[in-house]
Amino acid sequence: MDTVLSGIRSTGHLHLGNYFGALRNFVRIQDSYRCFFFIADLHSLTTHPHPSDFHAGVKTILAEYLAAGLDPEKSAIYIQSDVPEISELYVLLNMLAYVGELERTVTFKEKVRQNPNNVNAGLLTYPVLMASDILVHRAQWVPVGKDQEQHLELARVFARRFNNMYGAEVFPEPRNMTFPGGAVKVPGLDGTGKMGKSNGNGIYLYDDEKTITKKVMKAVTDSGPTEPDSPMPEVIENLFTLLKLVSTPDTVEYFTGKWNDCSIRYGDLKKQLAKDICNVTLPIKERIDAIYNDDAYLSKVVASGRERARASAAATLAEVRKAVGFKPF
C-alpha cells in the first residue's frame, strides 16, 4: 500500500479553501492508502508565535482536522515536533542542500520581500524540513497546492541526491497527488484571487452562522448583466464557483438561469450561498467545539499518532544512519 502524507502549519484556522482543496480529499482516501497527516508546529516557528499562543495554535488545527473527518483509527495524525527523527533527518539533509538552490525558492524570496527584518535560517531551510517530513516516512504521494510544488520538487532533488551520494535506494521520489475531478481552486469573496489565510478573505470552518452570512453578504459584485447570456466577470464567477461546491445542482441551475436572462438579484444569490455554506460548515464547527474541549480524547489521538509516526520514522532513520556511515562503538 502506498504512503500519502500531508501537513499544515499550526497557524490560524482552516478555511473553505483548505477544506475543499485538500481536507475533503484526504478524508476520502484514508481507507486506500497508508496515511500520515501532521501539524507542522516546527515550521510555524519561522514567524515566532508567542509561547503562550503556540500550543493553542497546534490544538486548534488538530481539532479542526479531526472535526473535518480525518480518522485517527485509519490515519496517523500527529504533531511534527513529537517525532524527533524528523529533526535528525533535517540536520542530515541540510548537509546536501545547497544555499543557492534554497535562495532561489520562490516562497523564500517572497518572505524576504515581505519581512526583510526576519530572514532567519529556518526560513531558508524551510524546504529541507518539509522534505524531512515527507522522506522520513518514504511517502510516495504528497497532495500539495501550486504554491508548494517547488518545495516538493526540492524533496525529490534531496531524495535523489541522498540516494546517489550514499549509493543506497533509501528514498522514493515523492510525487504530487491529484484527485478525481482535478484541483479545486476556492476563490476569495473580495474580488480576485484564491481564498487564503494571509489574504484576509477566508471563510473558516470555525465561523458561526452570523459571521459567515456577514462575510458572504459583503462579497464584491458588479452592477449586473445587461444583455442575455453575457460572459461572467470574475467576481460573479467566484460566487458561482462557491455555489457549485456547497449547493445542489438545482440551485446552481436556478441562479445560472437568472444570470442568463438578466433577472439575477445578487442579494438572493448570496443569501442562498450563505445558507448552503452553513449547511456544510456548521456541523463541522459543532464537532470542532466538542473536540477542542475534550483534552482526554485529544491526548489519546496525539499519543497514538506519535507512536505510529515514530515507528515508521525510526525504521527510515536506521537505514539512513547506516547509509551515511554511522556505526555503534
Helix, strand, coil share of the chain (percent; to 5): 60, 10, 35
> In a 3-state reduction of DSSP, which class is residue 77?
strand
How are strands ordered across the β-sheet holding 141-142? 76-79, 34-40, 3-9, 141-142, 175-176
Nearer to ligand ADP, 6 or 213 (CB): 6
Angle of the 51-68 helix axis to the 266-292 helix axis, nearest 10: 110
With contacts defined by CB under 6 A, name the span among 44-52, 88-96, 130-138, 161-169 that binds ligand TRP: 130-138
Nearer to ligand TRP, 11 or 247 (CB): 11
Which one from 111, 215, 270, 285 is the annotated catalytic residue? 111
Give least dist CB 169 to ligand TRP, A. 21
The footprint of ligand TRP on this chain (CB under 6 A) covers a number of residues equal to: 14
How far apart (Å, rounded) are the C-alpha atoms in residues 67 and 285? 7
* 57 sits near ligand TRP (criterion: CB under 6 A): no
Q: Rg of the chain over CA atoms, in angstroms? A: 22
* 284 sits near ligand TRP (criterion: CB under 6 A): no
Which one from 74, 185, 194, 258 is the annotated catalytic residue? 194
Which amino acid, 327? K
* 148 sits near ligand TRP (criterion: CB under 6 A): yes
> Are residues 46 and 80 in contact, defined by beta-carbon separation less than 8 angstroms?
no
Report what 306 binds from ligand TRP, ligand ADP, none; CB cut-off 5-8 Å by kind: none
Active site residue 197: yes
* 12 sits near ligand TRP (criterion: CB under 6 A): no
Task: Report the site for ligand ADP in 213-252 (rule: CB under 6 A).
Answer: none
Report what 305 binds from ligand ADP, ligand TRP, none; CB cut-off 5-8 Å by kind: none
Give least dist CB 31 to ligand TRP, A. 21
Active site residue 146: no
* 3 sits near ligand TRP (criterion: CB under 6 A): no
Q: Dump the DSSP string for 211-277.
A: HHHHHHHT----S--SSTTPPPPHHHHHHHHHHHHHS-HHHHHHHHHHHHTT---HHHHHHHHHHHH
Angle at 191 between CA 189 and CA 196, to 5 degrees: 55
Cell of 130: 518539509
* 18 sits near ligand ADP (criterion: CB under 6 A): yes
Go through the chain and tell me how many residues it has.
Answer: 329
Selected from 144, 154, 239, 323, the binder of ligand ADP by CB under 6 A is 144
**H-helix segments, 71-184:** 84-94, 99-103, 106-114, 121-124, 126-135, 149-166
Nearer to ligand ADP, 36 or 162 (CB): 36
Beta-carbon contacts of residue 255 (< 8 Å; ≥ 6 apart): 240, 243, 264, 268, 269, 272
Nearer to ligand ADP, 237 or 307 (CB): 237
* 22 sits near ligand ADP (criterion: CB under 6 A): yes
- For ligand TRP, the binding residues (CB under 6 A) are 5-9, 40, 43, 130, 133-134, 142, 144, 148, 151
By annotation, the residues acting in catalysis are 111, 194, 197
- For ligand ADP, the binding residues (CB under 6 A) are 8-9, 17-18, 21-22, 144-145, 148, 184-186, 194-198
